[in-house]
Amino acid sequence: MIQPAPTRAVLFDLDGTLVNTAPDLVNALNTVLCDYQHPQVSVSEAAPYISTGAAGMLEYAMGTSELPDRQHMVDSLVTHYHQHIADSSCLFPEMERVLQKLEQSGLNWGIVTNKIERLTHTLLTALNLTHRTACIVCGDTTSYSKPHPAPLLEACRLLGHAPDQCLYIGDARTDIEAARRAMMPSLAAGYGFLHKDDNPHHWGANAVIDNPAQILDWIVNHV
């Protein structure tokens, strides 16, 4: 667990932490499954696999890593998702209030995600969030993606803050590992896209939160 300094900026993972993207991602997945005459999956079943990317979601849904036409299936999923990226996606409940409070308090907030830049910027533009962010670091912004610390360190560079002055919030073990490796305090988003046997209390975050409103409670004690 990283000992935090006073919080000067808050960084969010995107899928499963800041935005509930599961409905649109799983809809894209089911479109591809339908094309291949494969049974569809529910949002609740597939959401925990979103962090594995398009290929990982397909492998889960089809029950095999030997996909019949792997690259074509991945490309089809990404294309459909890009075209319908914000049909149903929205901020998690209470998240808008959290962002407003951060902005009113003069705290910068940004995004560090493994989602590629093309999809990230399309989604944030559709949700009218781009102009509000202090930085956006994507899976292909640096040479590495999480759990490597490089994306978080790049966000620190863009913000002009030391890692221990930032707070990272994510819903996957890889998020918390990236924060630990960057020497950045972190919160595990227990409300996110977790597997049923995930135990975020064992990930090494500074705390586990059950809803976005608890972010504000944590920051109050670290400003």
Q: What is the pLDDT of residue 1?
A: 67
Q: Which of 14-23, 45-54, 119-128 is predicted least confidently?
A: 45-54
**What are phi and psi for residue 220, nearest 5 degrees?**
-55, -35
pLDDT tens by residue, 41-79: 999 999 999 999 999 999 999 998 888 898 999 999 999
Q: What is the pLDDT of residue 68?
A: 83
Angle 197-63-34 (CA atoms, 0-180°, nearest 5)? 115
Average per-residue pLDDT for the chain? 95
- Given a cut of 90, whether residue 144 has pLDDT beyond it is yes
**Contact yes or no for 176/170 (Cβ under 8 A):** yes
For residues 166 and 176, what is the distance between their CA atoms, to the nearest angstrom?
13
- Given a cut of 90, whether residue 193 has pLDDT beyond it is yes
Which are the catalytic amino acids?
Answer: 13
pLDDT tens by residue, 83-122: 999 999 999 999 999 999 999 999 999 999 999 999 999 9
Q: What is the pLDDT of residue 223?
A: 67
Instruction: Give me the mean pLDDT over the 183-195 stretch.
Output: 96
Say if residue 210 is exposed, middle or buried (CB neighbours under 10 Å; 0-12, 13-18, 19+).
Answer: exposed
Instruction: Give me the mean pLDDT over the 127-136 stretch.
Output: 98
Residue carrying structure tokens 């991945």: 74
* Residues 6+ away with beta carbon under 8 Å from 37: none
Preceding amide of 147 cis, omega within 30:
yes
> pTM above the 0.85 mark?
yes
Residue carrying structure tokens 């808008």: 96
* Residues 6+ away with beta carbon under 8 Å from 102: 10, 108, 109, 219
**Contact yes or no for 180/21 (Cβ under 8 A):** no
